Amino acid sequence: MIRYLIIGAVLYLVGVLVRRVLKQLRQPAESQQTEKSASEATARCAHCGMFVPRNEAVRGDGREFCSREHQQLGTRRDGA
């Protein structure tokens, strides 16, 4: 009976250690991804004011837009 308790305790500790190691391995990858998205530059659409990643913004007439449609519509006059 004691043998089963010892085996169970060892298996439990191995499981805890494996989870801890896996969590540490995953954590740096997740934090790098968060840092990348947090530091990514954004641009404000000259038509609707929505912020989009700068590398996805559509440029035209010296301004940045969220889509080709808004680029064609141009800058809003009401200060959006």
pLDDT at 61: 83
| Cα 53 off chain centre by | 12
Give pTM, 2 decimals: 0.47
Question: Among 44, 48, 43, which Cα is nearest to 77's?
Answer: 48
Residues in the chain with pLDDT values less than 50: 80
